[in-house]
Amino acid sequence: MAKAKKNYKVKDIKLAAEGRKKIEWAESRMPVMMALREKYKKTKPLKGFRIAGCLHVTKETAVLVETLAAAGADVSWSGCNPLSTNDEVAAALAAKGTSIYAWHGMNVKEFYWAIERTLDFKPNLTLDDGADLIFTIHNKHKKLMPDILGGTEETTTGVHRLRAMADAGELKYPVIAVNDAETKWDFDNVYGTGQSTLDGILRATSILLAGKNVVVAGYGHCGKGVADRAKGLGANTIVTEVKPTAALKATLEGHEVMTMDQAAKVGDVFITATGVKDVIREKHFQMMKDGAVVCNTGHYDCEINIPELEKIKKSKRTIRANNEEYIIKKNGRRVYLLAQGRLVNLAAAEGHPSEVMDMSFANQFLSQLRLAELAKKGKRLDTSVHDIPVEQDQEIAALKLRTMNYRIDRLTKEQKEYMDDYSAGT
């Protein structure tokens, strides 16, 4: 009998057993996802739907993938960053039947080859983190678009990109902005990025953060999380910004605020979290103290200008995993670049903890389900970027609270009436 065509490409399928243990660890800390899996594994509402996913292959993503499959979906997956795939998790997914094309250390050509493979089964739903999948479909697989009911987008950068596409009239199918769910950004972006970024830095350097001048570029939800948590570890935190209100908020949280030109001279650790390119450039590298550590936690690797660092180096060597020591030609000082400037939390650690991804991915799951349920009624969202329904945030938060054994109050009838009674004054 002809050998069944392998529907995956991973580093080494023999890593599956180790990966399965990682996934079981994540399952034990993602009670909302496991409750959704329990609820939908019988009715299988996603049966007949084909979901192409492009999202970091971590133990938490594996819980999302296997929950979508348990709810009946056919799923084909690629990673959304060349350095963020956990090879053991990818092997465990493949061994249990998931069509997955992902391995740590992909080159750019392999990265896009993997995305292409997830289109082979002609998906009718897409799930993205950074919009590389949607962008590939819009640019190179237009014929697939009429059958695509819609997509979901995980992250700030991706939603920003898709809103720009929609404004330019280029977006050809509806997308739900999972990132903009409160139970995503106000937990994942703040607490998740805060902790996982420091986790990546500590795994790649093992340095003491207490007493160090930690410079965080960007005080959005992610930068706030990083700066606030670094402060908690005793760092002298410095924030650089371009948005006055964000900079002002940073000062009120006790962070120093200055320009990158000023910070470059005093910083010990630099973390970019802006979503903008060229935040740290040649002139900053030239000013940095000997031993400065530089990394990025934004989605793309454009925030640190690496070509300029390469141009001014005398030499470089990998001194530790995910840690390259550059010697600056002009002054002989050492600058340490982590994870090749790619998102340090996922490239040098395991990304956000399971507890926050539990809610982010509940939003992903419920948004995919919403697109499928609409399709079953012959309906489809209009072609734009959509927020999640307001009640979905409260539903997910309430479920999370229950799994944490917290109970909260409910408004009485009189209180509800009072809230709606605009005539009630002092």
| φ and ψ of 60, to 5 deg | -70, -40
Out of 203, 284, 352, 400, name the contact with ligand NRN by CB under 6 A. Answer: 352
d(CA 412, CA 417): 9
| Shortest separation between residue 224's beta carbon and ligand NRN, angstroms | 14
**CA distances, 116 to each of 24, 104, 112, 132, 139 (Å):** 29, 17, 6, 11, 12
Supply the minimum distance, in Å, between the C-beta of residue 351 and ligand NRN: 3
Binding ligand NRN by CB under 6 A: which of 360, 363, 364, 367? 360
| 214, two tokens | 């930690």
Q: How far is the CB of 341 from ligand NRN (least distance, A)?
A: 15
Q: CA 140 to CA 69: how far, in whole Å?
A: 27
Instruction: Name residues contacting ligand NRN, limited to 296-325 (CB under 6 A).
Output: 299
**Closest CB 57 distance from ligand NRN, rounded Å:** 8
Among positions 109-168, residues that touch ligand NRN (CB under 6 A) are: 129, 154-155
Q: Is 66 in the site for ligand NRN (CB under 6 A)?
A: no
Interface segment toward ligand NRN; rule CB under 6 A; list 210-218, 352-360, 365-373, 398-406: 352-360
- Of 39-47, 238-246, 346-354, 393-401, which part binds ligand NRN (CB under 6 A)? 346-354
CB of 275 to ligand NRN, least distance (A): 10
Q: Which is nearer to ligand NRN, 124 or 136 (CB)?
A: 136
If the CB atoms of residues 56 and 400 are measured against ligand NRN, the closer one turns out to be 56
CB 426 → ligand NRN: shortest distance, Å?
Answer: 44
Residue 241 or 350 having the CB closest to ligand NRN: 350
Nearer to ligand NRN, 130 or 150 (CB): 130
Between CA 129 and CA 143 the distance in angstroms is: 22
Q: Exactly one of 351, 363, 367, 386 binds ligand NRN (CB under 6 A); which one?
A: 351
Q: Does 197 bind ligand NRN (CB under 6 A)?
A: no
User: Residue 55 has which token pair?
Assistant: 């999202």
Question: How many chain residues are in contact with ligand NRN, going by CB under 6 A?
Answer: 18
Of 19, 151, 174, 192, the one binding ligand NRN (CB under 6 A) is 192
389: exposed, middle or buried (Cβ count in 10 Å: 0-12, 13-18, 19+) = middle
Query: Which residue of 22, 58, 111, 224 would you call a contact of ligand NRN, by CB under 6 A?
Result: 58
CB of 154 to ligand NRN, least distance (A): 5
- The answer to whether 269 touches 215, Cβ cutoff 8 Å, is yes
Distance separating alpha carbons of residues 218 and 275, to the nearest angstrom = 8
| Nearer residue to ligand NRN within complex by CB, 123 or 192 | 192
Phi, psi (degrees; rounded to nearest 5) at 71: -85, 10
**Which strand ranges, in their side-by-side order, compose the sheet holding 150-153?**
99-101, 74-78, 50-54, 125-128, 150-153, 175-177, 385-386
- Give the β-pairing of 213-217 and 236-240: parallel
For ligand NRN, the closer of residues 58 and 272 by Cβ is 58
**Which residues touch 5 (CB under 8 Å, ≥6 apart)?**
none
Q: Is 255 in the site for ligand NRN (CB under 6 A)?
A: no
CA distances from 104 to 81, 93, 415 (A): 9, 15, 54
**Is there a contact between 137 and 145 (Cβ–Cβ < 8 Å)?**
yes
The length of the chain is: 426
188 binds ligand NRN (CB under 6 A): yes
The span from the CA of 323 to the CA of 85, in Å, is: 18
Kindly identify the residues of this chain, within the stretch 262-291, that bind ligand NRN according to CB under 6 A: none
- How far does CA 224 lie from the centroid of its chain? 16
Interface with ligand NRN (CB under 6 A) = 56, 58, 60-61, 129, 154-155, 179, 188, 192, 196, 299, 346, 350-352, 357, 360
